[in-house]
């Protein structure tokens, strides 16, 4: 039977927008992959989508850390790729996680983005 671990996070869109304005290159470079930046920057309001992905990465970290399989992972090593249908799919750049499945769901309104993640270990 797989074991399941969960994580959640809520992010203020205006906070992410301010950080992007203040530290654009450095913040984006350390936090978001090229695919994520391309996806968000094409949207009419990129900050909402950056905030969603930031919340997703925090939620995934919580789920991974609570599983005990790792105790540290960089934001840039967690990638959220949107499928053709808009489903957020997770790619981890971290060794020896072959038995680890990660799922995430994102939602956002103008002010806030939230995400919920599930890690399953088989
Ligand atoms: C998919 C749907 C439920 C999303 O609801 P919503 O209220 O617009 O979305 P929210 O604002 O709460 O959340 C947006 C996030 O939902 C996620 N999302 C989008 N489409 C999704 C889908 N099909 N399945 C799962 N998650 C999805 C994305 O992560 C998105 O964030 P992003 O835009 O930054 O990538 C809604 O658009 C819908 O019912 N659409 C009609 C069916 C449809 O278009 N299906 C897909 C094409 S066949």
Q: Which of 120, 122, 89 is nearest to 7 (CA)?
A: 120
CATH fold of the domain at 3-121: Ribosomal Protein L22; Chain A (3.90.470)
pLDDT at residue 25 tops 90: no
d(CA 43, CA 40): 5
pLDDT at 103 over 90: yes
Answer whether residue 30 shows pLDDT above 90: yes
pLDDT, mean of residues 27-43: 95
The pLDDT value recorded for residue 98 is 86
Q: Are 32 and 16 in contact (CB under 8 A)?
A: no
CA 86 / ligand 1 centre spacing (Å): 6
**Whole-prediction pTM value?**
0.93
The string of pLDDT tens digits covering residues 37-87 is 999 999 999 999 999 999 999 999 999 999 999 999 999 999 999 999 999
d(CA 81, CA 105): 12
- β-strands 112-121, 3-12: how paired? antiparallel
- From atom 37 of ligand 1, which residue's Cα is the shortest distance away? 86
pLDDT of residue 1: 86
DSSP string, 31-51: H--HHHHHHHHTSSSHHHHHH
> Ligand 1: does its nearest atom lie under 6 Å from the Cβ of 32?
no
pLDDT tens, position by position, 107-119: 999 999 999 999 9
**Residue 109, helix vs strand vs coil:** coil
Percent of the chain with pLDDT over 90: 91
């Amino acid at each position: 039977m797989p074991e399941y671990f969960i994580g959640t996070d809520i992010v203020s869109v205006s906070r992410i927008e301010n950080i992007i304005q203040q530290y654009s290159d450095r913040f984006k470079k350390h936090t978001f992959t090229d695919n994520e930046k391309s996806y968000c920057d094409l949207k009419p309001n990129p900050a909402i989508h950056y905030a969603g992905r930031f919340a997703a990465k925090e939620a995934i970290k919580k789920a991974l850390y609570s599983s005990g399989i790792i105790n540290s992972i960089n934001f840039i090593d967690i990638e959220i790729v949107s499928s053709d249908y808009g489903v957020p799919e997770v790619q981890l750049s971290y060794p020896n996680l072959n038995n680890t499945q990660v799922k995430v769901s994102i939602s956002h309104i103008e002010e806030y983005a939230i995400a919920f993640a599930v890690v399953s270990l088989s």
